[in-house]
Amino acid sequence: MRRPFIAGNWKMNLDRASIGAFCAALRDNPAPSGVRVGVFPPSVYLAEVVAALAATDVVVGAQTCHSERSGAFTGEIAASMVKDVGASHVILGHSERRHVFGESDGDVRLRMTAALAAGLDVILCVGETIAQREAGATAQVVLGQLDAGLAGLEPATVTDRVTVAYEPVWAIGTGHTATPDQAQDVHAQIRARVAHGYGSDVADKLIIQYGGSVKPANVSELMACPDVDGALVGGASLDPNSFDALLRFES
Ligand code: PGA
């Protein structure tokens, strides 16, 4: 059985007061016990969120980290720093990192290595643009990003420390959610690819989140897909009530 994993990617949103209130709501109103919950605040608030949620099971992570351990990389944060403030996870390869900040598959791979070496677990994001989908290149793009991100990892690392998030770029922040059939189709291909590379034991345990305009109104139908094991949520994760509703999807 794969434990559902619902994570909020707060991106560059919220402030100290609203994050404090959000953490209080998470403490006061825990998710159903079968559901794993994660929040990914802006990095300046990481330490505060770790402290505020210390008595809960909520996973706290960063939205990215750099591949180098230290040095002259103005504005960047190292994986060891994320770990040092008590966070356990990092999102890597998010479409905004790839498309707004120009991260290549090679960059994502280096960041994967650094994050895992520092002791962080990773949510590896993959997803095609609308042009790629319309050109029939969805599988090629998504599986290529997956291969690049996982290259060289031990099977146990993939099983225990990596979550994959399928996030079609055309669905992120647009209100155009993938249909359950579209999500299931790509999730099944991701799982098959991991089975091919790492064996069916690893693939069967892999948590694959869907991301892209997930809301309380559509989370249940997405979560009902056999290969959708969770959600990585942007906009609908910014309000505590909406996030709470996501955690209580109908199963
Ligand atoms: P969205 O973002 O839910 O606002 O579409 C998802 C994401 O970018 O992870």
Distance 221 CA to ligand 1 centre (A): 17
Q: Is 167 a residue of the active site?
A: yes
Looking at residue 50, its pLDDT comes to: 98
What residues make up the domain containing 207? 5-247
Q: What count of other Cβ atoms lies within 10 Å of the Cβ of residue 220? A: 14
Q: Is the pTM of this model over 0.95?
A: yes
- Residue-wise pLDDT for 194-207, tens only, equals 999 999 999 999 99
Exposed e or buried b for every residue in 37-58, given b needs 16+ CB within 10 A? bbbbbbbebbbbbbebbeeeeb
Q: Is 94 a residue of the active site?
A: yes
Distance 158 CA to ligand 1 centre (A): 23
Looking at residue 251, its pLDDT comes to: 86
Give the chain's domain count: 1
Residue nearest (by alpha carbon) to ligand 1 atom 6: 234
Best substitution site from 40, 124, 172 to test ligand 1's pocket, by max atoms within 8 Å of Cβ?
172
Angle value at C-alpha 93, between 197 and 45, nearest 5 degrees: 130
In ligand 1, which atom is closest to the CA atom of 171? 5
- Residue-wise pLDDT for 71-126, tens only, equals 999 999 999 999 999 999 999 999 999 999 999 999 999 999 999 999 999 999 99
Dihedral angle of Cα 132, 39, 221, 142, to the nearest 10 degrees = 20
User: Who's near 225: CB < 8 A, 6+ residues apart?
Assistant: 180, 183, 184, 187, 210
Ligand 1 lined by 173 (C-beta under 6 Å): yes
**CATH number of the domain that 121 lies in?**
3.20.20.70
Q: Which of 96, 103, 128, 167 is catalytic?
A: 167
Confidence of residue 1 (pLDDT cuts 50, 70, 90): confident
